[in-house]
A and B are shown apart, each in its own frame.
Chain A
Amino acid sequence: MKIDKQKIENSFSKLGEDTKGHIDWIIFIPVVGLLLFSLVFVYSASAPISAEKFEDVGTLFSKHLVRVFLGLITLIVFSKIDYHIYEKLARPIFFVSIAMLVGVLIFGETINGAKRWLEIGPINFQPVEFAKFAMVIYFAYLLTQKQKVIKTFADGFFPFIIWTAIICLLIALQPNFSNLVLIFIIAMTMLFIGNANLLYLIPTVGVGGIFAVLYAVSAQYRIDRIVSFFNLGDISPSVTGYQSQQALIALGNGGVFGLGPGQGRQNHLFLPESYGDFIFSIIGEEYGFVGLVIIFIAFGVIFLRSMLVAKKAPDNFGYFLAIGIVITFALYLVVNAAVNTGLVPTTGVPLPFISYGGTAILIYSAVAGILLNISAQANIYPLETNKK
């Protein structure tokens, strides 16, 4: 533990010094690119709905524009903050997030039968967006702390399971099935990579799976979604089946090269969430297969580069933090794309960096900033550091 303290002091002292490497441009450029391109995508996808709701095509877009701007600032600010500060802040951040999850159950506004949104002053946001990264940071910290006892049950495995269970329970009460499952998967993946004892991990995943199935069938609308998912032949009157069909039509209508910017038709009220969870399909309609593949390549570059960052991270905390962040990004991308292509039942999962969505952009930007800070300390630019 002594060494750890030394290292922390070390890293603090390094802050702002030239000895520290600078951020990885190969992660920075695609992230900023996705954020900036989201402006074009969101404008195109939101204009008809905006005109319908607010009688102005730009209302939703201008909100998004402000958030992207703030997001870019957040990204840069967080990339300058030494990530070791989160070792200290991990526990408080985590407890704040749990408090928010409790708060949303008490003060949250019920929309469509679920309490997911919390209003704090002018900010209206989903605590679950914050909670998943709070958990990633806390688990990264906990895994670092408990590496020596990780194989034991009581000291090593049990604390993680308790926290995972608490968070999952709170999210289940909202209810919010998709985020519950995703957070559980993130937690289990982190434990797996964090060397948890597979004797405990595998049964836990099994039990979690059983719970997930039981939870899934506990609500009629989820059963409906699943039923409509396996019944995709026609546009069914059920909203979810309809959305899924409309997403496929958008993708198919786009074809290989797409209809061109602003030429999409599915955003004309056919896809209700065209600028949010279904923006993937609108991109597919306007920019085609080629456009989507480019998006995947951008994400792929981020992931592969992050792998290198994780591998070269100066310490275990940086390592676990980087993988937690990358896994979260990747999981949300995959699930969002799977929903849009009709591979999984419709569920409300945003596309990282691109979907219109309140504070999510800021949180994703902040987390990407953290990732960039790790990259700065990972010495992946040996030539530059050698000069010093």
Chain B
Amino acid sequence: MSKKDKQSDEIENVENLTRHKKFWKFWITIVAINIAIVVIIVRLFYIQVINADYYLERAKRQHQSKVELLPKRGNIYDRNGNLLASNIKSVSVAVDPTVLTKKDTIATLIEKNIGIDKQKVLDKINSAKGAFVWISRRVLPNKVEELRKIKDRGLIFIDEPIRYYNYSSVASQLLGCTNIDNHGISGVELKYDSTLRGQSGYMIMYKDAKGRLRPAINLPTISPLDGYDLHLTIDIELQKIVEFELMQGVLNSQAISGTVIAMEPSTGEILASASYPNFNPNNSSSFISEAMRNRAITDAYEPGSTFKAITAAAALEEKIVKVTDLFNGFSGELKLGSVTIRDEHPLGIVPFSKAFENSSNIILSQVAMKLPDQQFYKYIRDFGFGLPTQVDIPGELSGKIPQFNAMKDIDKRFFGFGYGILVTPIQLANAYSAIANGGSLMKPYLVSEITKENNTVKKVKPQIIRKVISESTAKTLNRLLCGVVTDGTGKRTNIAGLQVAGKTGTSQKLISGQYSKSHYFASFVGYFPANNPKICLLILIDRPQVNFYGGSVAAPIFKNIALRWASVSKEIIIAKDRNESAKSNKNNVYVPDLRGLSVDEAKNILNELNLKTHPKQELGLVVAQFPKAGTIVKKSTNIMLQVRTFDANTNAETNEKVPKLVGLSLRRALTLLHNAGIQAKVIGSGKVVSQQFEKNKKTDETVCILKCQ
């Protein structure tokens, strides 16, 4: 034993003896502490090993957040590749009221830039319960620039693409529109929503206790699948022409609405279709169901005389009637018991062709009586009436055809000239297309191709539903329909140099079992060029006020569309000889039709042709021009343009200051001018043949000079 040990032993001996005896007390304490530690470790084992899954799940729930990655909605193009609908950047503004501090400044800026009432914004923020409130969805980025400068943790900006329609209201009913969540709610946008929409992806992000997200590299991300692009059969240029002429026609005839459908007879492709009133898909405040309906598909009406072609087709195909067969027109009045059938153009004993040209109800009713029920019914069905055409536009009606076995003779007679049956404009246009293409009923369609990144995914081919009539019957009908235009009720569609085939129709609306004396449908359906039809076009005007005959109301619209389309289209050429004569004299130019174009567009066209113009207004649409389209003038001639500032969203009537008066009765013309607040000066009497505006230098008021005959 060393010295040291002895020394320490000594110390221990003196006072540490009792301590060693009582050391068990410290020992007990340490044991107690160790027991506590063991309990805690057991508890930890329970939490971290045995029960870990439960807490793992809870942790995942509060740590991770699934963030949706939005796909890009597919674009929509017309048949020539013009972009109709696409997506542009936009920003949605939201707030978190729990941390928002600069409420007042933000509300003021929102009122200033976005245009939402300040008080409304404040109410929205103050009444909010959660930590997230939308203030304004899908606003153009420049409108939030000022807001972005405000530093407030409670102000949230979210990038959400907005659907943008390049041509605004043009083709709006066909294209449809999307709702605030970018889902299609009408038109192609609705029908092809799942195709256009694509598939959302998602990204799992980490979240802190305040809900703020942070990307996590180790967590899964599923990329979104962008939507497919659609290529439509429509031609946006034709669509523009159609819509402008339809609007003019509806406004001039003071009708409540109108609809047009243009199809390519050989394929069933829809080239254009529109209804008026229309809406602007870029402006959700114009989303009124009345304006969003494409009446060519969603509305059925009694076709009246336009249906006579179907009766004729059945009778000719079944060889019950030949065009040369003579019929008695009963001088325009056929009494059958209590019912009288009248003709607008009284006829005596005439061949069937003449009766058809003059749209004789009496003679067509006789033809109907000659047709056996079974056969008549077969042709109606074969032409596609009573069934939806299954065109790829939502909301199609099937129309209604009567039951033949329960039909009275008188009903069958009326049926022969288009009463007692409900058809949609597209059904009728499709039936006429069948006549135009030589007898085959096509399936109409609007989407011709689905692509993704310029690769074709699906191509729609024209589809023949059935052969309805023979080639020869179709040719016969073609001649009859051409006769209507050249010699019959459709003379107003006659275009020199372009052969048009078509049929007028005027029908009364059935209102609670009675045919209305004031509510008419005026229609014209036809196709051109008759020898090689490129377009089958149907015009339907609902309740025209000025004049109710299809030949007077609908036919001019048809003619205007045909004329203007012919001047734009490469396929349809009018009057080669006239064009050549203009070419032969280099100083002479044809005046183009400028109506419906913007002033800028009109100026460009005139410039190219070396013509001049000095319009009074620089903005707006050309509504009238002098000299008229088709006139041959010398180069550098000044073309006078009448321009109207036009906005599709405002009430059309208030803009309708200058009605088109040509063709109206003098009384009617004066009433319209009076309503528009324009003074009139009348030369002659009868129908108005021209109208011209002059400034009264003394009063500085516009005076309209009407020449009448």
Q: Is B14 an interface residue (CB 8 A)?
A: yes
A303 touches B41 (CB 8 A): no
Asked if residues A193 and B11 are in contact (CB atoms below 8 Å), the reply is no
Give the complex CA separation of A19 and B16 in angstroms: 21
Q: How many residues of A contact B (CB 8 A)?
A: 57
A189 touches B29 (CB 8 A): yes
Which A residues from 266 to 311 make CB contacts under 8 A with B? 266, 268-270, 284, 288-289, 292-293, 296, 299-300, 303-304, 307, 310-311
* Contact indicator A311/B23 (Cβ below 8 Å): yes
- The interface stretch among A62-70, A112-120, A315-323 is A315-323
Q: Any chain A CB within 8 A of the CB of B210?
A: yes
Q: Are A314 and B8 in contact (CB under 8 A)?
A: yes
| Chain B binding surface SS class | helix
User: Taking CB as reference atom, which chain B residue is nearest A378?
Assistant: B8
A334 at the interface (CB under 8 A from B): yes
Residues of B within 8 A of A331 (CB): 33
Please give me the residue from chain B that is nearest to A270 by CB atom. B209
Q: A3-B15, A316-B19 are in contact. Are A343 and B48 (CB under 8 A)?
A: no
For A254, the closest partner residue in chain B by CB is B48
Are A296 and B48 in contact, with the CB atoms below 8 A?
Answer: no
Q: Does A5 contact B (CB under 8 A)?
A: no
Identity of the chain A residue whose Cβ is nearest the Cβ of B23 in the assembled complex? A311
Please report the C-alpha to C-alpha distance between residue A326 and residue B30 in the assembled complex, in whole angstroms: 9
What are the interface flags for B1-37 relative to A under an 8 Å C-beta threshold, 1 for contact and 0 otherwise? 0101100100100111011101101110110011011
* Closest CB in chain B relative to A145 CB, distance in Å: 12
The interface stretch among B49-57, B182-190, B637-645 is B49-57
- Least CB distance from A146 to B in Å reads 13
Q: A19-B4, A268-B206 are in contact. Are A252 and B59 (CB under 8 A)?
A: yes
B487 is an interface residue with CB less than 8 A from chain A? no
Q: Does B45 contact A (CB under 8 A)?
A: yes
Q: How far apart are A356's CB and chain B's nearest CB, in angstroms? A: 19
Q: Is B99 on the interface with A (CB-CB < 8 A)?
A: no
Instruction: Kindly identify which residue among A195, A284, A316 contacts B44, using a CB–CB cutoff of 8 Å.
Output: A284
- Are A330 and B33 CB-contacts (below 8 A) given A265-B206, A289-B44? yes
Please name the residue on chain A nearest to B206 by beta carbon.
Answer: A265
Contacts of A338 in B (CB 8 A): 36, 40
CA distance A289 to B46 in the complex (A): 10
Q: Are B15 and A255 in contact (CB under 8 A)?
A: no
CA distance A265 to B15 in the complex (A): 55
Q: Chain B's nearest CB lies how many Å from the CB of A350? A: 16
Instruction: Say whether A193 contacts B29, CB under 8 Å.
Output: yes
- Give chain B nearest CB distance to A318 CB in angstroms: 10
C-alpha spacing A342/B58, complex, angstroms:
16
Shortest beta-carbon distance, A329 to chain B, in Å?
Answer: 10
A266 to B29, CA, bound (A): 35
Tell whether B682 is near chain A: CB-to-CB under 8 Å: no
Cβ of A34 under 8 Å from chain B:
no
Complex CA gap A300/B33 in Å reads: 10
Q: For residue A270, which residues in chain B have a CB less than 8 angstroms away from its CB?
A: 62-63, 208-209
Contact B19 A343 (CB under 8 A): no
Say if the beta carbon of A327 comes within 8 Å of chain B.
Answer: yes
CA distance A284 to B209 in the complex (A): 19
- Known A255-B48, A284-B48, A307-B26; judge A341-B43 contact (CB<8 A): yes
Quick check: is A13 within 8 A (CB to CB) of the other chain? no
Closest 6 CB pairs of A and B: A252-B55, A269-B209, A253-B59, A268-B208, A289-B48, A265-B63
A-B contact sample (7 more), CB < 8 A, given A307-B26, A319-B19: A249-B55, A251-B44, A252-B52, A265-B63, A268-B209, A341-B43, A341-B44
* Chain B residues within 8 Å of A, Cβ to Cβ: 2, 4-5, 8, 11, 14-16, 18-20, 22-23, 25-27, 29-30, 33-34, 36-37, 39-41, 43-45, 47-49, 51-52, 54-56, 58-59, 62-63, 206-210
Interchain Cβ contacts under 8 Å between A and B, 29 examples: A192-B25, A193-B29, A195-B18, A248-B47, A253-B55, A253-B56, A253-B63, A255-B56, A256-B49, A265-B63, A268-B207, A269-B210, A284-B48, A292-B48, A293-B41, A293-B44, A303-B34, A307-B27, A307-B30, A315-B11, A323-B26, A330-B30, A330-B33, A334-B33, A334-B40, A337-B37, A338-B36, A341-B40, A385-B4
